[in-house]
Amino acid sequence: MPRILFFEPRIPPNTGNAIRLSAVTGAPLHLVEPLGFTFEDAQLRRAGLDYHDLAHVTVHADLQAAWDALLPARVFAFTTHATRSYADVAYEDDDVLLFGPEPDGLPEHVLADPHVTDRVRIPMLPARRSLNLTNAASIAVYEAWRQRGFAGAS
């Protein structure tokens, strides 16, 4: 499975839902600090339900620490400012799917990071700002998993 990387997530329920996504798909979730919450946050725990022990979650002190743990790998930065569709990527098992915090998304210095292989977007209707963070991650993870024949699923 590809790895999910949330850069400085701020909204506890989104990360709680990403923990559930990790648990049900097997896609490891990596979080880059600073986080906008603690793991004791009630909203995070409620959104993650009882999936916390079934998910593989790693917290990194900064982006460099995440790169040290995740690379070498292809890194796809999800942004509304890209022209390539996420569906045009042939995903590989160790790919990193990089998402930025709501409401601003990935900052330019992260998008320009030399470790980013490509910028991709999820198509939306015109004049819409963005999808919910974990909804976007879910779309990407399930597309990557679909391409791999939903390996390991029941």
Q: For 100-109, what is each residue's pLDDT tens digit?
A: 998 889 999 9
Number of helices (H) and strands (E) in the chain: give both, helices first. 5, 6
Whether residue 117 has pLDDT greater than 60: yes
Predicted pLDDT of residue 46 = 59
Burial letters 133-144, b for 16+ CB under 10 A, else e: bbebbbbbbebb
Instruction: Return d(Cα 134, Cα 92) in angstroms, integer.
Output: 20
Side chain identity at 52, as an amino acid letter?
H
For the stretch 38-77, pLDDT in tens is: 777 565 555 555 676 789 999 999 999 999 999 999 999 9
pTM of the model: 0.93
**Selection from 147, 27, 149 nearest residue 92 by Cα:** 147
- Kindly list the structural domains of the chain, giving each domain's residue range(s) and its CATH number in brackets, ordered by start: 3-147 (3.40.1280.10)
For the stretch 4-44, pLDDT in tens is: 999 999 988 888 899 999 999 999 999 999 998 877 756 55
**6's tokens:** 């949330």
